[in-house]
Structure 1
């Protein structure tokens, strides 16, 4: 039987903090139109990682708490918070069992991480944490593999090194999360998405891929090094240039807890 993918993102903390593109600021603007992420709101960001979404919300004037099981990522998050001039209460914890008090938050959000959660347990915990009328937000910011582009070539290389990685070929859309939220009793579900190109240098793209679940979070160090060298060769030979403009899609669902 093939061993399932069990990434440890703590192993990727340096690359994760330096190279993974954060959520675009436009996400917060669009969330605000749905009543989430407003100034003064108490917000919990579960699976916060290095705090990309949490920082955007804090910069918008919210009071933000971020939790993640990887202590190493929270170290990176605090450094990035200081550079951005915001204060976020980072704690070690999981989406399924935060240890935080009932009814503490106006918004609970999950950025780029819902697929790692036990959905029934996570939604039950979120309902416990939200105040009546509070919002839950699930958001993603995904690269888009299009025929012949660098993203598609990168995914092919990840699969060659790590056959148990099955997260390629995505569209950046997540209808299953709507079922998770509706089943848990959340109401007023609304979704939106928008596309943009993200500029990466070749070195930054290689670092960003090292920080992914299928590479640095799950392969041994020597394999990660070999992968990095081979991806560098692929870029040099097939996608030369100082700046790589790579298509990404932002997608989010916002739902309400009626208490």
Structure 2
């Protein structure tokens, strides 16, 4: 199952730039740094992680199947004075040179890939001993504002609120990653080094929270006017329960570190 995030590219660029945790400090204490290393960022989207890797001194290539998301990434890069290489291809078929990268990363994207095919491609482009970092992050469902939001969405788009992509077919998970993935990684020659998570919070106004919700994969089948209509129903409900103020929404980052052996 694929999701066309290009339909919400501008909103994705504005409201999915929420990776606030000091990710690279958590990696550094685990022996992973990026200075001078070549990195392929799969499912790079609007370049959130891609730019962070560049700031860490990496030479990064972003790979994404959405030309619209890449255009948004390049607009942001231009505003920041950055020039980053992007490849408009699927992660399963990057057309990148073999054994040419020290690390491969994927943030909030692995569940959209075909597991067997993408692992063969990662194995092909990653140098022996290279790092594969798979990361997921998002708001926690225990947050009262999230619960109210999800309750309304379940009524507005019945049957759509379920784990995204390949996560929907899994009955069990470890640290948010389906148990089946661990066997896939091992079968393709990737050794699990560590699994960890970090809590963080992101501030939203009522409007920016609703714009964030409009970028969810569950909403992509709707026309923009339909997404707006659902948000028009959500806003007064949230104001009544929580007020029109800044909301601090709890988030969690999940990270799995693998080694190409």
Cα deviation for residue 175 of structure 1 reads 4.6
Bigger shift: residues 33-42 or 117-126: 33-42
Q: Is residue 251 of structure 1 aligned with residue 254 of structure 2?
A: yes
1:174 shift after superposition: 1.6
Cα distance change on mapping 1:52 and 1:129 into 2, 3 Å: same
Which blocks of at least 5 consecutive residues in structure 2 are unaligned? Answer: 165-172
Give the C-alpha shift of residue 24 in structure 1: 2.7
Q: 2:122 & 2:31 partners in 1: Cα distance? A: 17
Partner of residue 203, structure 1 = 207
> 1:37–1:43: 8 Å Cα contact kept in structure 2?
no
> Which TM-score applies when normalising by structure 2?
0.89
Residue equivalent to 2:149: 154
* Number of the residue aligned with 2:75: 79
Query: Which residue, 175, 194, 197 being the options, matches 1:190?
Result: 194
Residues 50-85 of structure 1 show CA distances to partners (whole Å, capped at 9, x for unaligned) of: 111111111111111101111101111112223344
Q: Distance in 2 between matches of 1:86 and 1:35?
A: 27
What's the counterpart of residue 131 of structure 1? 127
Partner of 2:91, secondary structure, is coil
Q: 195-204 or 180-189, which moves further after superposition? A: 180-189
Matching residue of 1:96: 92
- Structure 1 unaligned regions, length at least 5: none
Q: Does 1:112 align with 2:115?
A: no
After superposition, the CA RMSD in angstroms is 2.1
Measure how far apart 1:157 and its partner are: 2.2
Residue of 42, 48, 51 corresponding to 1:52: 48
Q: Distance in 1 between matches of 2:177 and 2:203?
A: 24
TM-superposed deviation, 1:173: 2.2
Deviations 1:150-194 (A, max 9, x none): 1112222222222233128x9962253433322222014311111
Q: What TM-score do you get using the length of structure 1 for normalisation?
A: 0.90
CA distance in 2, matches of 1:179, 1:240: 46
Pairwise CA distance, 1:6: 5.0
CA distance in 2, matches of 1:144, 1:171: 16
Q: Secondary structure at the match of 1:214?
A: helix
Deviations for 1:20-54, whole angstroms, at most 9, x for unmatched residues? 13323511222233344411110010001111111
**Distance in 2 (alpha carbons) for counterparts of 1:46 and 1:71:** 14
Give the match's secondary structure for 1:12: helix
Q: Which SS does the other structure have where 1:250 is aligned?
A: strand
Q: Deviation of residue 237 (structure 1)? A: 1.4
Out of 22, 36, 46, the position equivalent to 1:26 is: 22
State how far apart, in whole Å, the 2-side matches of 1:89 and 1:32 are: 25
Q: Distance in 2 between matches of 1:35 and 1:161?
A: 46
